[in-house]
Amino acid sequence: DSGVTQTPKHLITATGQRVTLRCSPRSGDLSVYWYQQSLDQGLQFLIQYYNGEERAKGNILERFSAQQFPDLHSELNLSSLELGDSALYFCASSVRLEETQYFGPGTRLLVL
Amino acid sequence: AQSVSQHNHHVILSEAASLELGCNYSYGGTVNLFWYVQYPGQHLQLLLKYFSGDPLVKGIKGFEAEFIKSKFSFNLRKPSVQWSDTAEYFCAVNGRAAGNKLTFGGGTRVLVKP
């Protein structure tokens, strides 16, 4: 158990819908990262937050957005969902930038 | 931009065999290097990491990796595998000037036959 928690574990929804994935970092970690793991794209970095501020963006679609709240938990919002958004979404956290990232159990999203 | 290449997509071994997984990266500056493991149905777990110092790094569960700067490589090794090592292994790079985003290789699925 890494100490990073993610909810929900599984999510099944329909195309066109919107979902919110939640992540709580390890105690004391200020930085949160979101990754997408899919069969065709592998593990891809989406976005990073540090102490509430966006610090880096990767291959994140415009339909996706995220934020980190004052209590340091983070949410990833996915809207206008498409079949291709079906994937495992991981959250990771680290104490500071350039420190080791510890991963949560992931949220498995299935878009039907 | 940074990139990571893992040479083998699938490896099948028998128990007690030695394992070596290749990883090469592309990045012009100083890097931090990681190996993560993902057991079936589970999340990514850190096996080992290299930030600086001794290029031979020892991790958990008997794994080690060697950073060879001249070859841009960070290969993972284990002298004698067990059935419980069946998993997918990911090499990852974090270029220090590129923020802390990890770039992952495509992963290597390792199947250890009992």
CB count within 10 Å of CB B91 equals: 28
pLDDT at B97: 66
Q: Which helix (H) or strand (E) holds A36?
A: strand A31-38
- Identify the residue with better confidence: A97 or B55: B55
- 3-class SS letters over chain B: CCEEEECCCEEEEECCCCEEECEEEECCCCEEEEEEEECCCCCEEEEEEECCCCCEEECHHHCEEEEEHHHCEEEEEECCCCHHHCEEEEEEEEEHHHCCCCEECCCEEEEEEC
B109 reaches A (C-beta below 8 A): no
Partner-chain contact A56 B107, CB within 8 Å: no
Q: Are strands A31-38 and A42-50 parallel, antiparallel or unpaired?
A: antiparallel
Q: How far is B99 from chain A (nearest CA, A)?
A: 7
B9 reaches A (C-beta below 8 A): no
B41 reaches A (C-beta below 8 A): no
Per-residue pLDDT for B5 more than 70?
yes
Confidence of residue A75 (pLDDT cuts 50, 70, 90): very high
Confidence of residue B101 (pLDDT cuts 50, 70, 90): confident
Partner-chain contact A90 B101, CB within 8 Å: no
Exposed, middle or buried by CB within 10 Å (0-12, 13-18, 19+), for B21?
A: buried
Bridge partners of B34?
A: B49, B92
> What type of residue is B59?
G
The average pLDDT across A44-57 equals 93
Question: Which chain A residues are Cβ-neighbours of B90 within 8 angstroms?
Answer: 43
Residue ranges of B 70-99 with Cβ closer than 8 A to chain A: 90, 94, 96, 99
Question: Which chain B residues are Cβ-neighbours of A36 within 8 angstroms?
Answer: none
**Per-residue pLDDT tens digits for B32-68:** 999 999 998 888 999 999 999 999 999 999 999 999 9
